[in-house]
Structure 1
């Protein structure tokens, strides 16, 4: 069984926010952003797969107990933290979560250290849209949205919202129009994703690549892992991060 003991514990501070980070591997950089309730064994297994493919992986711990198994108690604990923290937004429409500023800074630091055409970023569930938000103002060349579920899909507007401010939405659309592709994964009947894939298709066009699986399960890369989805993400990172090109602005 994989363990965090083999990972290097650090921290990153930006805009008054500090979070622990776990780092492992070598090669181009990839930031793996955990889902609720935190860095579970499933998240860690996926991160180890990214390391094994030849990447430097940094996992920030934004909430939850690193290494704890996913369960009702851990979910309640993490949701309670998210609800009272000013770093996150669960219900706001047309707004980028403040923690995106921290994640962008982390991406810039990692890219400066390891180089390459850019870094990869994968968000999951509650953090699924954060990889897209990072694209707006960080050297992200391979953004992956795994079952993006924020804001909470309550009402038509929230079900469709991407968790981006108008300015960040325009920046993302400009980068995608210039050639940056965005990978998204979901189960087709997952209610947590709402209608966001429709929004992504409409806003990003053919440069949004959807990987979809039948059913109402949720966590495509972790608790309800689809190996085909994991392989598509790893191949996406390989394609986008190991080709020598000019880094994204």
Structure 2
């Protein structure tokens, strides 16, 4: 893959933008590659150059990437003011449950219904045994909720951050997470999760709650803070001034780095679960 500047907006010219309507709701989805499908859900404040870079790594590993536009300006370098405005809009959007007190207690964000439909469509279009998905930060837990869709086989939770006001909250109803655990056990599947040790949004309490709910089916990877990239976009420098984004903004793209090893583990996870 050609190296690109992470300081300039990404034109996403090697992705095919599609308007996909599911259950009466239309969203733009950037699609690239071939092979089994992997849905890449961006972190706040949107599809940054770092998120696009990760999607290209997935594509180059032999997968069809479906990268939905859920918020923000696609391809934009995360600016401090623009990113903060995107965050505020998402906090009051009916599609997301940013806080524990919004809607039904412990329920998933409504957008996950659309994302499960996207997983079904991607499986129909790409074939293979099933679909993988990775959620990051704001979308981190969405990949777990998507396990209610039978086509979903490989969920990755990268620094899952919702609900913002409950460090041990899981943003999924008790009934749904019990259903997910049953499926994981019956089909011998696992959930891969990533976070930095000193992350102030995705804290140890959240991973402990996942481990209690899912048992040994929850596979956690906690990276030391010293592994995080300090050269980050303005949004992260001002609003997320601590290690947070394992495979995107805080990844150090150099051989031997722990974040690169984490990325490679994610790609290998997709490969194991989605190989024909």
Q: Same fold (TM over 0.5)?
A: yes
Q: Find out whether 1:112 has 2:124 as its counterpart.
A: yes
Does the CA contact (< 8 Å) of 1:14 and 1:101 recur in 2? no
Distance 2:30 2:150 in 1: 20
1:136/1:169 contact within 8 Å kept: no
- For 1:96, the equivalent position in structure 2 comes to 108
Aligned partner of 1:181 in structure 2 is 190
Among candidates 121, 138, 144, match of residue 126 of structure 1: 138
Find the counterpart in structure 2 of residue 204 from structure 1.
Answer: 214
- 3-state SS of paired residue (1:31): strand
Q: Does 229-238 or 135-144 show the bigger shift?
A: 135-144
1:136 has 2:162 as partner: no
CA distance in structure 1 between the aligned counterparts of 2:274 and 2:110, rounded to whole angstroms: 26
Question: Residue 138 of structure 1: CA displacement?
Answer: 4.2
**Structure 1 residue matching 2:34: 3-state secondary structure:** coil
* Unaligned ranges ≥5, structure 1: 245-249
1:232 counterpart = 2:242: no
- Greater Cα shift, 124-133 or 90-99: 90-99
CA–CA distance in structure 1, aligned partners of residues 131 and 161 of structure 2: 23
Provide the secondary structure at the position in 1 that maps to 2:265: helix
SS of the residue 2:156 aligns to = strand
Cα-Cα RMSD:
1.3
* TM-score, structure 2 as length reference: 0.83
User: Is this contact kept in 2: 1:39–1:68, CA < 8 A?
Assistant: yes
Q: Are residues 1:57 and 2:90 paired? A: no
Q: CA deviation at 1:145?
A: 0.1
* Cα distance in 2 between the residues matched to 1:141 and 1:25: 19
**Separation in 1 of the partners of 2:246 and 2:82?**
19
Give secondary structure in 1 for the equivalent of 2:273. Answer: helix
Distance 1:167 1:210 in 2: 22
Work out the number of aligned pairs and report it: 239
Partner secondary structure for residue 268 of structure 2 = helix
Deviations 1:214-238 (A, max 9, x none): 1250000100011111101000001
* Deviation sequence 1:89-142 (CA, Å, 0-9, x none): 100341111000000000000001111111000000010000001012341100
Give the secondary-structure state (helix, strand or coil) at the position aligned to 1:159.
Answer: coil
TM-score, normalisation: structure 1: 0.92
Contact 1:105 1:138 in 2 (8 A): no
Matched residues in 2 for 1:181 and 1:222: separation?
22
List gaps (5 residues or longer) in structure 2.
5-9, 226-241, 252-258
Report whether the alignment pairs 1:220 with 2:246. Answer: yes
- Residue aligned with 1:193, SS: coil
Inter-partner Cα distance in structure 1 for 2:44 and 2:37: 23
Match of 1:190 in 2: 199
Deviations 1:143-193 (A, max 9, x none): 0000000010x2xxx211111022311211111222111000000121201
